[in-house]
């Protein structure tokens, strides 16, 4: 199961970083069903498999922080036997999953205050936290018009558009990424998720930076919503993922190169607010 999860994360079949963190945490449960002669053998296996999960996507800060949290919770307790180490692992996994899911829910609930009724929103990519925030706003009686970018080249935004179209009180328009500037004068607020914020930089799905730039030029506020755990310091070095050229061009490139980065960097001075489970941060 761990190898399958590593492959799934590396191929980005799961798009939400919070879901990735939960899946990776759950994958470690399989270790508690295996036999180990000593505590040292178990801890080595736990650390080795956790490292494999982290390496599967070096750009996901939440994946790294939650995996370190699980491993450290077990290792720092200095378990006397394998059975105790397994119990500590299960407790740490449950704690991480509960923390990730509850943080997302709290961040989404806070974001409702940033969204006015009848707002025209623009969102980019797929974010389960943004989707939860809109759901909370709908439950509060709000209605919206939402423009959703396709998020090329993998068209992840289409998934967001389909989810939103199932909600009552929302008019959804799917647009190509390059049309965001064209529609920006009609937008009241840009609402996006985040992979992570490191120092003064938001790292998020490629295309976020030009959207934030167009929003700034049109005086449209940009709100980012996500878990506070995605605010990271210098201990985490963001590493962009360069994906296969085949996602952009099906046939082989002849005489030219194809570049396909997964994320871009948006300076936080282009943002208005970042909403997390621990509060609203203004820029």
Active site amino acids? 195
**Cα 166 to Cα 153: distance, rounded to the nearest angstrom:** 24
What does residue 168 show for φ and ψ, rounded to 5 degrees? -75, 150
Contact between 151 and 130 under an 8 Å Cβ cutoff? The reply is: no
| DSSP, res 252 | P
How far lies 110's CA from each of 107, 132, 140, 223, 276, in Å?
5, 11, 12, 12, 7
CA-closest candidate to residue 196, choices 159, 224, 156, 222 = 224
**Cα 139 to Cα 204: distance, rounded to the nearest angstrom:** 27
How far lies 56's CA from each of 20, 77, 89, in Å?
10, 27, 21
| DSSP, res 28 | G
CA angle 11, 12, 17 (to 5 degrees): 145
How far lies 32's CA from each of 136, 141, 222, 228, in Å?
37, 45, 44, 29
**Cα 222 to Cα 187: distance, rounded to the nearest angstrom:** 10
How far lies 249's CA from each of 137, 155, 156, 208, in Å?
39, 14, 17, 22
User: Which positions ≥6 away from 175 have C-beta within 8 Å?
Assistant: 147, 148, 149, 150, 183
């Amino acid at each position: 199961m761990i190898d399958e999860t590593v492959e799934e994360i590396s191929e980005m079949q799961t798009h939400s970083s919070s879901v990735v963190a939960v899946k990776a945490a759950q994958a470690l449960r399989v270790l508690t069903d295996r036999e180990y002669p000593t505590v040292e053998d178990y801890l080595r296996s736990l650390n080795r498999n956790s490292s494999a999960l982290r390496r599967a996507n070096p750009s996901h800060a939440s994946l790294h922080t939650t995996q370190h949290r699980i491993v450290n919770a077990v290792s720092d307790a200095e378990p006397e036997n394998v059975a105790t180490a397994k119990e500590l692992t299960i407790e740490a996994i449950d704690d991480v999953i509960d923390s990730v899911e509850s943080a997302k829910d709290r961040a989404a609930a806070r974001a409702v205050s940033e969204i006015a009724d009848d707002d025209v929103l623009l969102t980019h990519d797929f974010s389960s936290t943004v989707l939860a925030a809109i759901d909370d706003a709908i439950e509060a009686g709000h209605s919206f018009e939402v423009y959703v970018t396709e998020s090329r080249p993998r068209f992840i935004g289409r998934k967001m558009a389909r989810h939103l179209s199932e909600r009552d009180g929302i008019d959804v328009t799917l647009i190509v990424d390059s049309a965001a500037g064209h529609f920006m004068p009609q937008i009241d607020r840009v609402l996006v998720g985040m992979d992570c914020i490191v120092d003064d930089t938001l790292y998020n799905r490629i295309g976020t930076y030009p959207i934030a730039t167009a929003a700034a030029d049109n005086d449209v506020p940009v709100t980012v919503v996500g878990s506070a755990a995605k605010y990271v310091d210098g201990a985490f070095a963001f590493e962009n993922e360069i994906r296969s050229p085949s996602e952009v061009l099906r046939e082989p490139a002849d005489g030219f190169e194809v570049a396909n980065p997964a994320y871009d960097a948006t300076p936080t001075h282009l943002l208005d607010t970042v909403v997390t489970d621990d509060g609203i941060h203004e820029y």
